[in-house]
């Protein structure tokens, strides 16, 4: 490993071999020498849904892989989830070293990144496990017709038969069981089911990544209540939540082929004759830069999420470090056709509302614009729903070298057919339920949690995520979806698409 100063970094200093770099003592990392001297060595940037899938499938294919993640490894305030509290791991088999008890670092490197744009603000995960820690836990599969319209070049049959089940099995996902749904704090879900049925919507119980037995224990009073009183998202590392650090990443590290380096931000990607070099920034938990160094790999997998994979590519192109011709990066970006709405149901619901989000409905009233309403338990007595549609217009991401920030160019879609279909669907629910709309604070109306696109398949890269103009550079995350997951929450499709790509790519390395 060679440290580089900021000045050297700016002046593009020369590279050093990966092997010594990987042996360096990095906080929150588990140096196992992966990559040292190996002919094929992969780097995965980002450890969210897609990065976790890529890490495990590369490791299982025998490819040494280093996962670089800017965030830290969070754990629950009440339990060390990696030391067996949810039954996934036990004893000293913890592959990802926990933060020492009593020395929890300040939250400066955070759990969640917030990116403000003029028309929309985006939130995304910023920790080991990425979005799988902060998310609501809903793993919903888009319907065949909606998926086909969105991604006609991808076989829905393969996704349905192979890749969606593969993700659900690896995570151990399951829908809410009857006894939990019948318990007192789940009243808001029951009211939503009744209202949706009255409106003629199809009611769904999607899979979630929660351990329902732990939720049962909460309800029985055997363990302190957390999920069952609505603390299910953006809440550290929740023991009952099967985030990818507890399954995909754990297994990848246990294979001995993968190393996960937390608090390691990638600042730049550079093309080499034999592969790629990445400039890494080792951070303290408080976000200070401790050192810069470079790693090399033969195969690079971008899994930094829609906002940050696009940013890294645009930044590296602008700096002249990535020279391949590709002017499509940043395009095809969208908000998943999302809109948050709230209503006061005719039957008042009690607070707290039990989590996670686990009941959805689909309004098929307009066959061109099916609207999925995801009931989202909220810390008040109103009913909160995320409406998801297929957007008509997409925006674009850019990169501003002065501020070093990603820019969002996106027009609010208030009057498009998709937006009108959302309004009409919500109105149908209100009419059927006798409820009244509640105005949400404006910042909530402007915030989105499902950014997608930026390197869309068939536009900026091929259907296996290989970026046009580059060899062995794959994007595997939410950037690949064209601004939408097909009127569904995106995490399951992001992960299943990464599974599809890795099933084709990993065995070839």
Ligand X SMILES: Cc1cc2nc3c(=O)[nH]c(=O)nc-3n(C[C@H](O)[C@H](O)[C@H](O)COP(=O)(O)OP(=O)(O)OC[C@H]3O[C@@H](n4cnc5c(N)ncnc54)[C@H](O)[C@@H]3O)c2cc1C
400 CA to centre of own chain: 24
DSSP secondary structure code for residue 479 in this structure = G
Taking the complex as a whole, the smallest distance from the CB of residue 398 to ligand X amounts, in Å, to 17
Q: Which of 34, 38, 40, 47 binds ligand X (CB under 6 A)?
A: 47
Taking the complex as a whole, the smallest distance from the CB of residue 71 to ligand X amounts, in Å, to 4
Q: Which of 43, 49, 56, 378 binds ligand X (CB under 6 A)?
A: 49
DSSP run (H or E) holding 389: none
Q: Is 509 in the site for ligand X (CB under 6 A)?
A: no
Q: Is 137 in the site for ligand X (CB under 6 A)?
A: yes
* Cα–Cα dist 389/397, whole Å: 21
Taking the complex as a whole, the smallest distance from the CB of residue 178 to ligand X amounts, in Å, to 21
* Structure tokens that stand for 244 in this block: 């990818």
Nearer to ligand X, 430 or 460 (CB): 460
Q: Is 375 in the site for ligand X (CB under 6 A)?
A: no
For 298-427, where are the E strands, in sequence order?
299-302, 331-334, 338-344, 360-363, 371-375, 383-388, 395-400, 405-409
Name every residue whose Cβ is closer than 8 Å to that of residue 222 and which is 6 or more positions away in sequence: none
Q: Is 312 in the site for ligand X (CB under 6 A)?
A: yes
* Cα–Cα dist 412/393, whole Å: 9
Q: Which of 15, 34, 41, 48 binds ligand X (CB under 6 A)?
A: 48
Strands 338-344 and 360-363, by their bridges, are unpaired
* Cα–Cα dist 413/392, whole Å: 8
Identify which range of 128-136, 347-355, 417-425, 437-445 contacts ligand X by CB under 6 A.
128-136
Taking the complex as a whole, the smallest distance from the CB of residue 2 to ligand X amounts, in Å, to 19
Q: Counting Cβ atoms within 10 Å, is residue 329 exposed (0-12), middle (13-18) or buried (19+)?
A: buried
Taking the complex as a whole, the smallest distance from the CB of residue 484 to ligand X amounts, in Å, to 11
Q: If we measure between CA atoms, which residue out of 74, 207, 205, 178 comes closest to residue 130?
A: 74
Q: Is the peptide bond before 390 cis (omega within 30 degrees of 0)?
A: no
Residue-wise DSSP of 55-72: HHHHHHTT--EEEE-SS-
Interaction pattern, residues 54-93, with ligand X; x per rule: CB under 6 A:
--------------xxxx----------------------
DSSP secondary structure code for residue 434 in this structure = T
Between residue 225 and residue 284, which ones bind ligand X under the rule CB under 6 A? 233-234, 265-266
Taking the complex as a whole, the smallest distance from the CB of residue 158 to ligand X amounts, in Å, to 20
Q: Is 138 in the site for ligand X (CB under 6 A)?
A: yes
Name every residue whose Cβ is closer than 8 Å to that of residue 401 and which is 6 or more positions away in sequence: 315, 318
Identify which range of 157-165, 197-205, 297-305, 454-462 contacts ligand X by CB under 6 A.
297-305
Nearer to ligand X, 451 or 469 (CB): 451
Q: Is 136 in the site for ligand X (CB under 6 A)?
A: yes
- Residue owning tokens 């536009």: 459
Nearer to ligand X, 19 or 110 (CB): 110
Angle formed by the axes of helices 49-60 and 491-505, nearest 10°: 20
- Exposure of 370 in the CB half-sphere (CA atoms within 13 A): 23
> 217-234 b/e with 16+ CB inside 10 Å = b?
bbbeeebebbbbbbbbbe
Interaction pattern, residues 161-200, with ligand X; x per rule: CB under 6 A:
----------------------------------------
Q: Which of 308, 372, 385, 390 binds ligand X (CB under 6 A)?
A: 308
Q: Is 478 in the site for ligand X (CB under 6 A)?
A: yes
| Total of chain residues touching ligand X, rule CB under 6 A | 42
Taking the complex as a whole, the smallest distance from the CB of residue 153 to ligand X amounts, in Å, to 20
Interaction pattern, residues 328-357, with ligand X; x per rule: CB under 6 A:
-----------------------------x
Nearer to ligand X, 113 or 271 (CB): 113
Q: Is 378 in the site for ligand X (CB under 6 A)?
A: no
Q: Is 302 in the site for ligand X (CB under 6 A)?
A: no
Residue 37: CB atoms within 10 A of its CB come to 11
Per the CB < 8 A criterion, the answer to whether 237 and 133 are in contact is: yes
Q: Counting Cβ atoms within 10 Å, is residue 10 exposed (0-12), middle (13-18) or buried (19+)?
A: exposed
Identify which range of 94-102, 126-134, 152-160, 437-445 contacts ligand X by CB under 6 A.
126-134
Q: Is the peptide bond before 352 cis (omega within 30 degrees of 0)?
A: yes
Identify which range of 2-10, 162-170, 291-299, 303-311 contacts ligand X by CB under 6 A.
303-311
Nearer to ligand X, 185 or 376 (CB): 376
Nearer to ligand X, 89 or 138 (CB): 138
Interaction pattern, residues 480-499, with ligand X; x per rule: CB under 6 A:
---------xxxx-x-----
Nearer to ligand X, 46 or 435 (CB): 46
Binding site for ligand X (CB under 6 A): 45-51, 68-71, 123-127, 130-131, 134-138, 233-234, 265-266, 303-305, 308, 312, 357, 449-450, 477-478, 489-492, 494
């Amino acid at each position: 490993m060679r440290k580089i100063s900021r000045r050297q970094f700016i002046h593009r200093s020369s590279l050093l071999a990966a092997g010594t770099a990987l042996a360096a003592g990095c906080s929150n990392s588990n140096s196992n020498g992966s990559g040292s001297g190996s002919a094929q060595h992969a780097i995965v940037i980002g450890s969210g849904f897609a990065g976790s899938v890529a890490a495990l499938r590369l490791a299982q294919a025998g490819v040494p892989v280093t996962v670089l993640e800017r965030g830290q490894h969070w754990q629950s305030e009440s339990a060390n989830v990696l030391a067996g509290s949810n039954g996934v791991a036990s004893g000293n088999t913890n592959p990802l070293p926990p933060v020492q008890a009593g020395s929890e670092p300040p939250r400066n490197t955070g759990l969640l990144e917030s990116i403000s744009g003029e028309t929309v603000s985006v939130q995304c995960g910023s920790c080991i496990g990425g979005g799988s820690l902060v998310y609501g836990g809903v793993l919903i599969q888009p319907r065949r017709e909606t998926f086909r319209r969105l991604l006609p070049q991808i076989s829905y049959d393969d996704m349905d038969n192979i890749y969606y089940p593969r993700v659900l099995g690896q995570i151990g996902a399951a829908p809410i069981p009857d006894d939990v749904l019948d318990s007192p704090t789940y009243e808001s879900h029951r009211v939503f089911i009744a209202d949706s049925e009255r409106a003629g919507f199809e009611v769904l119980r999607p899979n979630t990544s929660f351990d329902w037995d732990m939720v049962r224990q909460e309800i029985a009073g055997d363990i302190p209540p957390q999920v069952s009183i609505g603390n299910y998202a953006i809440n550290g590392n929740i023991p009952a939540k099967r985030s990818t650090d507890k399954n995909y990443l754990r297994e990848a590290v246990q294979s001995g082929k993968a190393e996960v380096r937390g608090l390691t931000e990638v600042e730049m990607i550079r093309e080499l004759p034999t592969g790629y070099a990445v400039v890494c920034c080792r951070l303290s938990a408080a976000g200070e830069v401790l050192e810069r160094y470079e790693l090399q790999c033969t195969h690079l997998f971008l899994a930094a999420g829609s906002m940050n994979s696009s940013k890294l590519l645009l930044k590296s192109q602008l700096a002249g470090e990535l020279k391949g011709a590709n002017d499509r990066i940043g395009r095809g970006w969208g908000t998943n056709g999302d809109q948050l709405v709230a209503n006061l149901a005719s039957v008042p619901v009690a607070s707290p509302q039990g989590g996670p989000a686990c009941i959805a409905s689909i309004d098929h009233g307009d066959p061109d614009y099916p609207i999925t309403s995801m009931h989202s338990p909220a810390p008040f007595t109103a009913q909160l729903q995320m409406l998801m549609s297929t957007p008509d217009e997409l925006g674009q991401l850019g990169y501003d070298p002065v501020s070093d920030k990603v820019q969002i160019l996106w027009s609010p879609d208030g009057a498009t057919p998709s937006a009108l279909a959302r309004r009409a669907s919500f109105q149908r629910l209100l009419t059927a339920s006798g409820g009244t709309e509640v105005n949400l604070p404006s910042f909530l109306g402007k915030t989105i949690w499902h950014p997608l696109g930026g390197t869309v398949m068939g536009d900026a890269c091929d259907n296996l995520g290989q970026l046009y103009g580059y060899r062995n550079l794959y994007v595997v995350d939410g950037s690949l979806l064209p601004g939408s997951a097909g009127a569904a929450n995106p995490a399951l499709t992001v992960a299943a698409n990464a599974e599809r790509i890795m099933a084709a790519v990993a065995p070839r390395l």
